[in-house]
């Protein structure tokens, strides 16, 4: 399960931020996950619960926003989103496409408990 190491990585970053800002408790961690990142959201949540159960992050909500695939056409510069793998540009039908969003797994922001 590669989600375990991904989640551990996220936890490490979050804990560093907490230390830096002297934060004790978090309300929520918001993640952005690209549709092509090969990550299963349910697995992320499960791993997060397992890895944080004995830590100060226990009980923190993990919210996951799925990021659609976004391409830019290298021929006409048109940007467009797609539910799946795109074959060609909707404007000029070029096959010279670059995926600009859709593979990421990142922390968007964290919410501190007040
Ligand atoms: Zn195009």
Map out the domains of the chain with their CATH numbers: 3-67+101-112 (3.30.2320.50)
Gap from CA of 38 to ligand 1 centroid (Å)? 27
* Alpha-carbon span 4 to 27, nearest angstrom: 21
Taking only Cα atoms into account, the Rg of the chain, rounded to an integer number of angstroms, comes to 17
Please report the pLDDT score of residue 1 as a whole number: 61
pLDDT at res. 83: 86
> Which of 51, 53, 69 is CA-nearest to residue 8?
51
- Mean pLDDT (10-residue bins), the chain, 114 residues: 89 96 96 91 95 96 95 97 92 96 94 90
How far is ligand 1, taken at its centre, from the CA of residue 32, in Å? 27
- Rounded to two decimals, the pTM is 0.83
CA–centroid distance, residue 108 to ligand 1 (Å): 30
Instruction: Measure 64 CA to ligand 1 centroid, in angstroms.
Output: 31
Query: What pLDDT score does 17 carry?
Result: 95
CA of 65 to the centre of ligand 1 (A): 28
104 CA to centre of ligand 1 in angstroms: 23
Q: For position 82, what pLDDT does the model report?
A: 93
């Amino acid at each position: 399960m590669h989600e375990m190491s991904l989640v551990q990585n996220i936890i490490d970053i979050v804990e560093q931020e907490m230390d830096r800002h002297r934060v004790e408790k978090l309300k929520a961690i918001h993640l952005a996950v690209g549709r092509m990142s090969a990550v299963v959201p349910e697995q992320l949540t499960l791993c997060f619960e397992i890895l944080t159960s004995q830590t100060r992050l226990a009980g923190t909500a993990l919210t996951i926003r799925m990021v659609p695939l976004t391409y830019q056409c290298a021929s006409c510069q048109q940007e467009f989103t797609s539910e799946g793998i795109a074959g060609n540009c909707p404007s000029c039908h070029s096959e010279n496409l670059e995926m600009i969003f859709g593979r990421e797994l990142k922390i968007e922001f964290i919410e501190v408990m007040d």
